[in-house]
Amino acid sequence: MSSSPPPPYGQSPLRVVQVLGGGSAGSSAHVRSLTAGLVARGVRVTVCAPAELEQAYGFAGAGADVVNVPRRGDPVAVAALRTACVGADVVHAHGLHAAVRAAFAVSGMPAGRRTARWPEGRQGERPDGSQADRPVPRVPLVVTWHTRPHTEGARGHVARLMERRAVRAASVVLGTSSELVDRARGGGARDARLAPVTVPAPRPPTGYQESKARAELGAVERPLLMAVGSLVPHRGYDVLLDASRAWRGLDPAPLLTIAGEGHDRGALQRRIETEDLPVRLIGRREDISELLAAADVAVLPSRWEARSVLAQEALRAGVALVATDVGGVRELVGDAAEFVPYGDADALGRAVLALLDDPERRAALAAAGRRQAATWPTEDETVAQVLSVYDELTGHG
């Protein structure tokens, strides 16, 4: 990545704190990429995240100072986060839980050495409603929405309240899809902007790696389908299992592999065994790019997605994609996928079988996918956009 010139003589580097909560694969990979790019540009970065995310993504290896902040909302965790944010010029939270905790942590905290935009109310207005000729700077809070809450009922109501609190506390909300930007504005964000996040492109696997992956999964002489994501209700795997009945009786029957873990694993595994479905749950994997590149078709059955990691990797790998037409999926992939309605198992099964029977259509989708992927922002462009927001908020540009 390119680096910007060092700060002018006598001016210290910008100091930014990145905050992760639970950390989805997309948001954690983004923070790792963002950290490396910011450090290359002379920015001091502190990453506050649970210890398991540091182990998985290696933020320290990207040049960050790392503070272990567990994914809890208790006073001890918030106090640790607040301590880490002292002296920061910008605090950048990723996801709902991180945003809520960061809002508490920086509440009333003065900004770092730079001039910051007043983040509460109109310019010149204090929180108590009195006027000031020059507002006292407060540390700016940037929030990136990578997804939206998927809980329902009472928990969903609480999540929506938390969401509104977080977006109203933020100086700027960055949404990874247009729908998320609209959602933030509807929740009261004073400044919400589209900021597409690009997952770092993996190194293309070799033909040997693809053959090895198919052999390991037991799909040397049968079609291979691939789905990736946590085993939770909004991923739509119950519908995908329903769809797999459409090809259960074929000879050879296509093998559907699902990579990921989650609390629905037990229920899904019981269905697979009871209904004798041609499906394998393979857990978390470090070789997703190799497995995906070996597949004939990738399947995204989710109830909602913004910038799906699976969709990005499938298009880059030239793998035909069947996806539900939800959230920001069409905005991300354009015409490089076969779309089906969410929850329609029959349509999903038909779309998969049609692609397996039509190698020319698969090849056309592969070519369209690579063209679409070429339009996405690069890691360098993503870092530059975020840094421009920091510069705007701190007067550093």
Helix axes 25-40, 309-317, angle to 10 degrees: 70
Q: Is 36 left (phi over 0), alpha (psi -120 to 50) or beta?
A: alpha
Distance between CA 81 and CA 79 in Å, rounded?
5
116 or 147: which carries more pLDDT confidence? 147
Lowest mean pLDDT among 39-53, 120-134, 373-387: 120-134
Helix axes 345-356, 359-373, angle to 10 degrees: 100
**How far is Cα of residue 212 from the mean position of the Cα atoms in its chain?**
29
Mean per-residue pLDDT over the chain, rounded:
89
Question: In this structure, are residues 334 and 306 in contact, taking their beta carbons and an 8 Å threshold?
Answer: no
* pTM summary value: 0.87
| Phi/psi of residue 367, nearest 5 degrees | -65, -40
Distance between CA 261 and CA 252 in Å, rounded?
27
> For 292-330, what is each residue's pLDDT tens digit?
999 999 999 999 999 999 999 999 999 999 999 999 999
Lowest mean pLDDT among 64-78, 89-103, 255-269: 64-78
Q: Is 188 exposed, middle or buried (0-12, 13-18, 19+ CB in 10 A)?
A: middle
Instruction: Please give the biggest Cα pair distance in the chain.
Output: 77
- Burial 156-166, CB ≥16 within 10 A → b, else e: eeebbebbebb
Given 3-state DSSP classes, what are the helix, strand and coil percentages for the chain, each rounded to the nearest 5?
45, 15, 40
Closest CA to 95 of 182, 178, 159, 171: 159
pLDDT higher than 60, residue 136: no
Would you tell me how many other CB atoms lie within 10 Å of the CB of residue 27? 23
Res 396: pLDDT? 66
Distance between CA 195 and CA 187 in Å, rounded?
18
**How far is Cα of residue 238 from the mean position of the Cα atoms in its chain?**
22
Would you tell me how many other CB atoms lie within 10 Å of the CB of residue 221? 7
Query: Which DSSP category does 138 fall into?
Result: B
- Name the pLDDT band for 160 (thresholds 50, 70, 90): confident
> For 77-102, what is each residue's pLDDT tens digit?
889 999 999 999 999 999 998 999 99
Mean pLDDT of 160-166: 89
Would you tell me how many other CB atoms lie within 10 Å of the CB of residue 276? 9
Distance between CA 162 and CA 96 in Å, rounded?
7
pLDDT higher than 50, residue 287: yes
Percent with pLDDT over 90 in the chain: 73
Q: State the distance between the two ends of the chain, measured CA to CA, in whole angstroms.
A: 19
Query: Which DSSP category does 295 fall into?
Result: -
- Name the pLDDT band for 206 (thresholds 50, 70, 90): confident
Distance between CA 296 and CA 217 in Å, rounded?
13
Q: Where are the domains of the chain?
A: 15-198+378-394, 207-373
CATH architecture for segment(s) 207-373: 3-Layer(aba) Sandwich (3.40)
- Superfamily covering domain 15-198+378-394: Glycogen Phosphorylase B; (3.40.50.2000)
The radius of gyration computed from the CA coordinates of the chain, to the nearest angstrom, equals: 23
- Name the pLDDT band for 118 (thresholds 50, 70, 90): very low
The 3-state DSSP class for residue 293 equals helix
